[in-house]
Amino acid sequence: MRQGKVIRAAGGFFAVLDQRGSEYQCRARGSLKKNKGNLIVGDEVMFKPLQETTDDSRGEGVVEEVLPRRNFLPRPPVANVDQVIVVMSLKNPGCDWQIISRMAVLAEKENLPVVVCLNKTDLISRDQLSELDSRLDPFPYPVIFTSALSGRGTSELKDRLAGSCSALAGPSGVGKSTLLNLVQPGLCLQTGQVSEKIGRGKHTTRQAALLPLDSGGSVVDTPGFNRLDFKSLEPKQLADYFPELEALRGRCRFRDCLHLHEPNCAVTEELGKTVNSMRYEHYKYFIEELNQQ
């Protein structure tokens, strides 16, 4: 048997790249075959080659075992990444800050670093960008401002991707595939337009795919999404996944403080200082959502 990594998954077939760089089209055997959800892009697997790769065709094989995952993101479903880059556009479609915070919670739950990429800066004015800078002071994550049209920020994004396995996540139409085409010429990923009627993009990326980069890293280009739900999270756990709130742990009057209406709460006292007011509104909304589950 050989070890490899799942780089694409579709229709019950899994493209597996072995440690020598050869690609095999595999099926899953046994219990894995019964539940295809157990095998996702990024998984390290043990597989049995049935036909070796040649210059003219990919090899074939059977996946026998999924090795333990370092981490797992449920949506987009991907495993064993080093960081999450959340991509949003500032206009067409507009930025959904709540989805950024939702994605960040899921990444924090897996101890994954988060980078926020705000695309389509060419569609807003300098005054709007300046106002945005003020809105993000303070903000707990690195922010990259990009424009696929002008090329702004693409070098910084390329540097962030270099040497790591990154999951690029965000709604449809924000420009994920377009940015990747700029960062890695030759990928030729399909890009799409944003619907004027519904204000959202079409799904040009149908399945997650692990793409190699000349920088030595790799990136998972994922299908867009417009909704993320929290599962198996308790309200009292949520603050652990907001780093700016977790940093204030132990400074509240009450040990079980939920940072809502309790007296002498360090979080509410730090609003607008070390705690971003917008992020705190997201936290309160998520608490209410979790209480209703």
Q: Please give the pLDDT value at position 225.
A: 63
- Determine what percent of the chain is predicted with pLDDT higher than 90: 72
Lowest mean pLDDT among 50-64, 123-137, 151-165, 219-233: 219-233
Q: Please give the pLDDT value at position 57.
A: 79
pTM above threshold 0.75: yes
Q: What is the pLDDT of residues 1-34, one digit of tens each?
A: 999 999 999 888 999 999 999 999 999 987 775 5
Q: Please give the pLDDT value at position 35.
A: 56
3-state secondary structure the chain: CEEEEEEEEECCEEEEEECCCCEEEEEECCHHHHCHHHCCCCCEEEEEEEECCCCCCCEEEEEEEECCCCCEEECCEEECCCEEEEEEECCCCCCCHHHHHHHHHHHHHCCCCEEEEEECHHHCCHHHHHHHHHHCCCCCCCEEECCCCCCCCHHHHHHHHCCCEEEEECCCCCCHHHHHHHHCCCCCCCCCCECCCCCCECCCCCCCEEEECCCCCEEEECCCCCCCCCCCCCHHHHHHHCHHHHCCCCCCCCCCCCCCCCCCCHHHHCECCCECHHHHHHHHHHHHHHHCC
> Residue 206 above 90 pLDDT?
no
Lowest mean pLDDT among 25-39, 191-205, 223-237: 191-205
Mean pLDDT of 159-170: 94
> Residue 162 above 80 pLDDT?
yes
Q: Please give the pLDDT value at position 192.
A: 45
Q: Please give the pLDDT value at position 94.
A: 95
Q: Please give the pLDDT value at position 190.
A: 52
Q: Which residue has the higher pLDDT, 55 or 117?
A: 117
Q: What is the pLDDT of residues 31-46, one digit of tens each?
A: 775 554 589 999 999 9
Q: Please give the pLDDT value at position 188.
A: 64
Mean pLDDT of 217-235: 80
Task: Share the mean pLDDT of the chain.
Answer: 89
Q: Please give the pLDDT value at position 189.
A: 61
Q: What is the pLDDT of residues 234-272, one digit of tens each?
A: 999 999 999 999 999 999 999 999 999 999 999 999 999
The full set of domains in the chain, from first to last, is 2-66 (2.40.50.140), 72-221 (3.40.50.300), 235-291 (1.10.40.50)
Mean pLDDT of 54-80: 90
